Amino acid sequence: MKERIEIFEVGPRDGLQNEKREIPVAEKVALVDCLSRAGFSRIECASFVSPKWVPQMAGSAQVLAGIARAPGVRYAALTPNMRGYDDALAARADEIAVFASASEGFSKANLNATVADSVDRFVPILEAARHIDLPVRGYISCVTDCPFDGPTDPGAVAALADRLFGMGCYEISLGDTIGQGTPDSIARMLSAVRDVVPATRLAGHYHDTAGRALDNIDASLVMGVRVFDAAVGGLGGCPYAPGASGNVATEAVAAHLERLGYDTGLDMDVVNEAAAMARAMREG
């Protein structure tokens, strides 16, 4: 039997948060509904952040209210603080994600906080989530390179991963936010992180700015990572990371993994349909 690799679909969040065009809620709902038929277990489709910081995500509550929830699919939302947590809960997100940076420069730009202060804000979120058994994922940005501070020390990524995992995050998603990682730098980083968090609780979240995301996925597979984040149509980027381009495209990752002999459990016809929708949304 083929080994299963999971693709965590982040297109409706990471993909659409950086689009210039104001995308109507109905279009986002249609994209998520299409993705719900593709076989994903987890789809990130909302972000309860300040609309002043990321206006593209302002309709997140309406998106979660409008989608047809498929059985067995968890619909995820980003929550930077308790306000976001309360809004995510009210909108019935099935799981949430906190997000921090391994580098101070990006932390300041993205969250207006030091790394330590941003993590302190997550403490009450993790506590509240634990009481109601709500799964919380932890993102770490700039795991190999920061657009402000240059190369990231793998030890800083490991320390933050250890902290987030210890606080109760069930999975740590490692973000190559600006797509400058190489198979070598990704392997060095993973080798440090694996010492504190089991590889089975890690995910690779690689942006494809330099066209190396698939190579970085290969390096991560060797290190035991079995979950990869991707966005249909290769949409996305972070508005606070200069030079960040799209997430690696879901359809490219799925085809690559199938070629390598893995099973993704995805219906490629539906994935390709969603990718075409996502690309059309970018063009308007």
Interface positions with Mg ion (CB under 5 A): 14
Q: Which stretches within the chain are classed as H helix?
A: 25-35, 60-66, 82-90, 104-111, 115-131, 154-167, 183-193, 213-222, 250-259, 268-283
Should residue 169 be labelled a site residue for ligand HMG when binding is judged by CB under 6 A?
Answer: no
CB closer to ligand HMG, 50 vs 272: 50
CB closer to Mg ion, 14 vs 87: 14
Nearest residue to ligand HMG, scored by beta-carbon proximity: 175
Say whether 238 is catalytic: yes
Kindly determine how many residues on this chain lie close enough to bind ligand HMG according to the rule CB under 6 A.
Answer: 27
Q: Which of these segments, 34-42, 81-89, 148-156, 213-221, binds ligand HMG (CB under 6 A)?
A: 81-89
Q: One symbol per residue from 28 to 67: x for binding ligand HMG (CB under 6 A), - otherwise; what is it?
A: -------------------xxxxxxxx-------------
Should residue 112 be labelled a site residue for ligand HMG when binding is judged by CB under 6 A?
Answer: yes
Structure tokens at 74: 């968890």
* Least CB distance to ligand HMG at residue 240 (A): 6
Q: How many helices (H) and strands (E) does the chain have?
A: 10, 10
User: Would you call 228 helix, strand, or coil by DSSP?
Assistant: strand
| In the block, residue with structure tokens 């249609």 | 30
What residue type is 144 in one-letter code? T
Closest listed residue to residue 137, CA positions, set 65, 236, 207, 205: 205
Closest listed residue to residue 193, CA positions, set 274, 138, 235: 138
Q: Residues in the site for ligand HMG, rule: CB under 6 A?
A: 14, 17, 47-54, 78, 80-81, 83-84, 99, 110-112, 139, 141, 175, 177, 205, 207, 238, 240
Would you please indicate which residues are annotated as catalytic (active-site) residues? 238
